[in-house]
Amino acid sequence: MLTHITTPRDGLPSLLDSARAISLAAEQIASGQGPIAVDTERAGDFRYDDRAYLVQLRRQGAGTFLVDPTVSEEANSALGEVLNSAAWVLHASHTDLPCLASLGWSPTVLYDTQIAGRLLGMGQPGLSPMLEEFFHISIDKDKGREDWSARPLSRSLLTYAALDVEFLLELHEVTLQQLRELHREEWYDQDCAAIRQSARPLPTPEWTTMKGIGTLRSPPSMAIARALWTERNHFALQRNRSPERILKRRDILHVAQQPSRALTELRDVRMPPALRKRSLPAVREALSLSDAHLPQPTPRNFGGIPDHKLWPTEFPRAFAAVEMLSEATETLAQDLSLTPQAIATMKQLRHAAWKLSQITPDDSADPIASYEDVFGHSLESRGARQWQIELLSSASLGRIIDRLA
């Protein structure tokens, strides 16, 4: 039987939307003990980027704080001094860390309860399923895509935000204990450390990273896409609006796919009149570019290895290696009650298999050591943790060496 939680246990905290209120909160949080539970609410569906418009914090001995990070850089700096000297607990931290890093905030140690759930055999769990599993409680999780940049924020939104950190510290404690009982705490530490170390501030958008750009294979198509993306980006940035709401990505790609009809197709695309006024001449200019000034399609990137679809017939050694690695991963996952993806992704396995298939045993060297070194380095270069490398090496490398050596 689930208990539905609708109100924070200490009452609903006020939104801290002044420099003084945020500075006072920093002092209170500093007086607390232990890690700080952290969450963010963003408005990427409404605004130009995925910056935080609300930051929720909770610490033992201090309570819960709802911070508006847009009101004062000076207050953010004072709060950052506290946050940057503490461990954090987040859920699905990869979604929050970029906007927090953009504020200049980062933890000394990261704990991610979603990673804990994954290593406990729960797949890639959301916060709600974990609260139900461990505490038999439920909270609303239906407001994450609201416009969190709007002010004032309603009481229901503030309640939703506060409850997102209400039980994170307790969830961290109970999952960490279970990981210790399974002797997986070291796995957890490695996974969390890797996420923390790879966290970067929100990137500056580039037209070449637009999803689907790789489907355009001619320079004129690329030039049209670049022109439309650039005009859309400038328009959205000036107004702090979501680029996708102004001009949809699929419409940019559709117009760009047929350069000879681009101007005609563009007239049927929905966009603000002011943007249309700028886009038509931009596309005309793109169509008039000389060959020397046309952008070139990005070469298809298979990570430095041939397309794996060719392996069964053209690269049998690599195919044999990846089949054995995949089988070992599946077996390990079953034995450990994990998903295969928790142990290794297919991209990681293919990269390792290809590198192993390229080894030519040398009588003057230790062939086993060569395979071990290549295997470890190839997986590590694709983001595998040491615990994953050790598991896969023990489960599969001997058979692979017997087959390939």
* Distance of alpha carbon 376 from alpha carbon 399, whole angstroms: 16
pLDDT at 141: 86
pLDDT exceeds 90 at position 360? no
CA angle 329, 337, 374 (to 5 degrees): 25
Confidence of residue 297 (pLDDT cuts 50, 70, 90): confident
pLDDT grade for 298, boundaries at 50, 70 and 90: confident
Model-wide pTM > 0.75: yes
Q: Is the pLDDT of residue 363 over 60?
A: no
Dig out the tokens for 248 from the structure: 């949809």
User: Is pLDDT above 80 for 42?
Assistant: yes
Mean pLDDT within 82-92: 98
Question: For residue 88, what are the β-bridge partners?
Answer: 36, 110
Q: What SS3 state is found at 35? A: strand
Mean pLDDT, rounded, of the chain: 96
Contact 29, 59 (CB under 8 A): yes
Rounded CA-CA distance 376/21 in Å is 50
Q: Which residues on neighbouring strands pair with residue 41, listed in sequence order?
A: 54
Structure confidence at residue 280 (pLDDT): 97
pLDDT at 362 exceeding the cut of 90: no
Taking only the tens place, the pLDDT of each residue in 239-276 is 999 999 999 999 999 999 999 999 999 999 999 999 99
- How far does CA 159 lie from the centroid of its chain? 26
Average pLDDT value for residue range 15-36: 98
Sign of CA dihedral 312, 318, 323, 329: negative
Give the CATH architecture of domain 3-198: 2-Layer Sandwich (3.30)
Domain 207-293 fold: DNA polymerase; domain 1 (1.10.150)
Topology (CATH level 3) of domain 308-404: DNA polymerase; domain 1 (1.10.150)
Domain 308-404 in the same topology as domain 207-293: yes
Task: Look at residue 364 in the predicted model and tell me its pLDDT.
Answer: 47
Of 152, 197, 118, the residue nearest 383 (C-alpha):
197
Contact 256, 231 (CB under 8 A): no
Per residue in 116-145, pLDDT (tens digit) is 999 999 999 999 999 999 999 999 988 999
Element (H, E) at 33: strand 33-42
* φ, ψ for residue 35, nearest 5 deg: -70, 160
Instruction: Give the model's pLDDT for residue 365.
Output: 63
Between residues 22 and 305, which one has the greater pLDDT?
Answer: 22
Q: Which of 6, 27, 7, 31 is nearest to 16 (CA)?
A: 27
Whether 208 has a pLDDT exceeding 60, the answer reads yes
- The SS3 call for residue 53 is strand
Strand order in the sheet with 33-42: 15-16, 63-67, 52-60, 33-42, 88-90, 110-112
Please enumerate in sequence order all residues whose Cβ is within 8 A of that of 145, keeping only pairs 6 or more positions apart, or say none: 45
Residue 300: pLDDT above 70? no
Q: What end-to-end distance do the CA atoms of the chain give, in Å?
A: 57
pLDDT of residue 69 exceeding 90, the answer is yes
Q: Where are the domains of the chain?
A: 3-198, 207-293, 308-404
Percent over 90 (pLDDT), the chain: 93
The DSSP bridge partners found for residue 38 are: 57
The strand pairing partners of 89, in sequence order, are 37, 111
pLDDT recorded at residue 367: 76
